[in-house]
Structure 1
Amino acid sequence: MKTDKMDTLKVGGVPEHFNLPWRLAIEEQLFEASGKSLIWEDQPMGTGQMVKKLESGELDVAVLLTEGITKAILEDGLKAKILQVYVTSPLHWGIHVPFQSDIRTFDDLKDQTFAISRYGSGSHLMTYVKADQEEWDTNTLQFNVIGDVEGGMQSLEKNESQAFLWEKYTTHPYTEKGRCRYIDEVVTPWPCFVIAVREDLCGSEKEFLNEICTIVGKRAFAMKNSENVIELISNRYDLRSGQVANWLIETDWNYDMKSYTEEIENTIHYLVKLGLISKAKVENWESKLFC
């Protein structure tokens, strides 16, 4: 059954600097020429929260982690599709521990509990990636679900968890305030963010969805090359200008709507290796994943 055309699309993403191109495009009304409007909704609990909201219909479009949405679609059967890669560079996940603890290295965290926003979230899946890189037995990993970054900080402060993985620039203000301590990082072996949509919109709204991606990509390019970009991001997200400058060097968006099929395939292979996606679910993965 064909879905009726929609006048308004609800878009969700984490309230972090990666998504500033979306916020600017909406504020500047760059989508209005199409006769449609976009409503942005911050999702502080991350990818796991957005997967649930795509499933329930509370969101139409979500900007979320590549590994999380890939697992949700292929392994868990989420009725959603990937439109395209959004941020082409990898994500630098900081590994954080209680400020007063004696923990100095990742190896000190064996048999300890990791705070995660939700099962299937990036904080959950990237713990597996780091543990695998260190040749741990990933079956022994222990988790404590904490909701969002503030929940992660509280969990560390109460020693309910001994480690918490989150994007390292977002957590920098917390480390400066002594709420946690950064000991290491793990970098995603794939482009970090994709744009996903509810499956039923892939037909009725495909043209507009592609237009959205084009507008956001162009706005990202203009933002990155703006003279005042460091000041803009620093003021909006309470980050030091030096931190923003370093982050911009490490970060690129999909400016030209390029396909990253090979990189998505590598993500799938890694998740299968970690036992997070079963081999049987990978058959015909392109038709299952892409809009």
Structure 2
Amino acid sequence: MITSLQSNEIDIAIGLTEGWVAGLGKAQAESKIAGYKMVGTYVETPLCWAISAGANREDVKGVEELKGGKMGVSRIGSGSYVMGFVLADTHKWLSSPSTSSSSASAPFSIIPLQTFTRLREAVNDGIADFFMWEHFTSKRYYDNGEIKRIGEIYTPWPSWHIVARPEVIGDERMEEVLEKVNLGIKYFEEHQEEAVEYISTKLDYSAEDAREWMKTVKFAEDVRGVRGSVVQETVTVLKKAGVLGQEVGVEEMVGIRRKE
């Protein structure tokens, strides 16, 4: 999506918070034009990342055993990678940054595996000891016995944000899009059973899981605007993970600011 924004193929996009912030920070570090700014808050609630291990791995039973292990990730800098540092920070497993490095050292060996399928295979084959992925996407594989759930952790920030190319910020068309997203959220809130039907038939969730997911997610009542404190918190974690360096300007990332 970042590439599409930079090439003017799209004007507005919705995606995971950490992905947008990472892209903006890297562009600053390289003195490049990012091609977008953050303009809206889509989902107010954090994302629940399940921590998974191989179904028959008797040596991996709980989160406390993961320090020093092998963490499977989709790619370096991805959400599955960043959340490993959130987990380590929560358990005080991170070493202090050295004077020559902007990030703390990971207490895991990092194994990039690209796809969700390969991550599931890796924890059963012993290539990795654990991986982290969104809870409800993972749940069907707990239910069928392919992998086991050993814990969970939430993002320290609202999970989904809206970005737009700088050229369209303030444009009446962008404002119309944001208002239509608001109307879509209102429709979703007022038609819960219709939402369950759609999710359970189009998105590979059971109706039961769809209802449980709906209990965990809160969309913004008005999506317009981004809180600077949310961006700052995300930057702080991305620095610890080594995704971003020290010199990152939060102000430049936000196109429409929301009151704190």
TM-score tier, shorter chain, comes to 0.7 to 0.9
Matched, 1:266 2:217: no
Q: Which ranges in structure 1 are unaligned for 5 or more consecutive residues?
A: 1-49
**Partner AA of 2:207 in structure 1:** S
Out of 74, 81, 86, the position equivalent to 1:129 is: 86
* Residue aligning to 2:101: none
Secondary structure in structure 2 of the residue aligned to 1:127: helix
Preserved contact between residue 69 and residue 129 of structure 2 (Cα < 8 Å): yes
Please point out which of 7, 22, 29 is paired with 1:71.
22
C-alpha distance in 1 between matches for 2:75 and 2:240? 21
> Is the 8 Å Cα contact of residues 35 and 165 (structure 2) preserved in structure 1?
yes
Q: Tell me the residue number matched to 1:221.
A: 186
Identify the residue that residue 98 of structure 2 maps to in structure 1: none
Distance 1:135 1:52 in 2: 36
1:81 matched to 2:37? The reply is yes
Q: Deviations over 1:169-227 (max 9, x none)?
A: 1111122122211111111111001122345x435x84322322221222122113214
Q: Deviations along 1:115-148, whole A, 9 cap, x unmatched?
A: 2222221111111111110111251332222223
**TM-score normalised per structure 2:** 0.80
5 Å-filtered alignment, 1:23-42, equals: none
* Other-structure match for 2:50: 94
Q: Tell me how far apart the structure 2 counterparts of residues 112 and 100 of structure 1 sit (CA, whole Å).
A: 17
**What do residues 223-246 of structure 1 show as CA deviations (whole Å, max 9, x unaligned)?**
132142223212222223332222
Match of 2:136, SS? coil
Taking a change above 3 Å as real, the CA distance of residues 136 and 244 of structure 1, as seen in their structure-2 partners, is: same
| 1:202 aligned onto 2:132 | no
Q: How far does residue 57 in structure 1 lie from its aligned partner after superposition?
A: 5.8
* SS of structure 1 residue aligned to 2:105: helix
Work out the CA distance in 1 between the residues paired with 2:74 and 2:186.
30
* Contact 1:66 1:191 (C-alpha < 8 Å) held by counterparts: yes
What is the distance in 2 between the residues matched to 1:120 and 1:76? 14
Structure 1 distance, partners of 2:2, 2:121, is 24
Q: Is 1:286 aligned to 2:251, yes or no?
A: yes
Partner secondary structure for residue 152 of structure 1: helix
Decide whether the 8 Å contact of 1:174 with 1:180 is kept in 2.
yes
Q: Work out the CA distance in 2 between the residues paired with 1:113 and 1:128.
A: 13
Tell me which amino acid in the other structure corresponds to 1:62: A
**Residues 181 and 223, structure 2, Cα contact 8 Å, conserved in 1:** no
Q: TM-score, normalised by structure 1?
A: 0.72
The residue type paired with residue 287 of structure 1 is E
Higher-RCO chain (CA-CA 8 Å, sequence separation at least 6): 2
Query: What is the aligned partner in structure 1 of residue 97 from structure 2?
Result: none
State the match for 1:14 in structure 2.
none
Whole-angstrom CA distance in 1 between matches of 2:113 and 2:255:
31
Q: Give the letter aligned to residue 277 of structure 1.
A: L
Give the aligned length. 238
Larger displacement relative to structure 2 (117-126 or 76-85): 76-85
Distance 2:67 2:89 in 1: 12
